Structure formats: structure tokens, C-alpha cells
């Protein structure tokens, strides 16, 4: 019985990961931050993920992804985002399939500068 429960938990966990949005080749077209957004930084991109890949909470027409820039990881992410933005490099972006940092933008899962 324990094995069956573990299999169910495993399947649920990985099914959530597989539903996160991803854009394989896009450019960052805008970076938004300010007092209104707290520690959050929002990212606008040239190519949007497929609507079926986005979580229901992501209905922001301009900014697809968001991350918290106040943490050590967030500071590193901010440096990578700004470098990709200013150099106009193509990036791969994927989300976490949640919108906990900003109500209508998906939390950023990873960024890969190509």
C-alpha cells in the first residue's frame, strides 16, 4: 500500500513539472521593477509560451515571468536577465507553473542564455 501511495505522489509531482511553461528561443524585450512590485522583477519576452502551457493564473498580456530579486539566487538571476536583455541574446525560459510572486505572471523556473 505504501508503494502505491509513493507512486501516486511521484506521478503528481512530475506531472506538475511537465505542465510548466517553456520558451526555447526568445529574447527579453522588457524588465519591470519598482516600489509597486516590491522585490519582484517581471520579464517581457518576444515569443510567448503556448497558452496551453501557461498556468491559469498567468493572464498578463505584457509580462510572462516574475522572480524575487532579493535573494542570492534572485540577484544572480537579475544579473543574467539584464545581461541577456542588454546584449539581445536569445534565451530559454521556463516557469514553475505557479503565480505566487505576482498574481498574474508565472514564477520563473530557469533562464539559459544561448
pLDDT category at 40 given cuts 50, 70, 90 is very high
Domains in the chain, ordered, with CATH?
20-113 (2.40.50.340)
Range 104-109 average pLDDT:
95
Continuous segment of H or E residues that includes residue 72: helix 72-87
pLDDT category at 19 given cuts 50, 70, 90 is low
pLDDT at 8: 40
pLDDT at 29: 97
Q: For residue 87, which of 65, 47, 114 has the smallest C-alpha distance?
A: 114
Distance separating alpha carbons of residues 43 and 62, to the nearest angstrom: 8
Does pTM top 0.85 for this prediction?
no
Distance separating alpha carbons of residues 28 and 114, to the nearest angstrom: 12
pLDDT at 49: 82
CB-based contacts of 3, cutoff 8 Å, min separation 6? none
Amino acid at each position: 500500500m505504501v508503494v502505491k501511495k509513493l507512486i501516486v505522489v511521484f506521478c503528481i509531482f512530475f506531472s506538475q513539472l511537465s505542465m510548466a511553461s517553456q520558451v526555447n528561443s526568445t529574447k527579453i524585450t522588457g524588465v519591470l521593477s519598482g516600489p509597486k512590485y516590491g522585490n519582484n522583477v517581471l520579464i517581457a519576452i518576444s515569443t510567448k509560451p503556448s497558452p496551453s502551457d501557461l498556468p491559469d493564473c498567468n493572464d498578463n498580456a505584457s509580462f510572462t515571468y516574475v522572480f524575487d530579486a532579493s535573494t542570492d539566487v534572485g540577484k544572480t538571476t537579475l544579473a543574467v536577465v539584464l545581461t541577456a536583455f542588454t546584449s539581445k541574446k536569445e534565451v530559454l525560459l521556463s516557469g514553475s507553473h505557479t503565480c505566487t510572486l505576482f498574481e498574474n505572471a508565472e514564477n520563473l523556473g530557469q533562464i539559459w542564455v544561448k
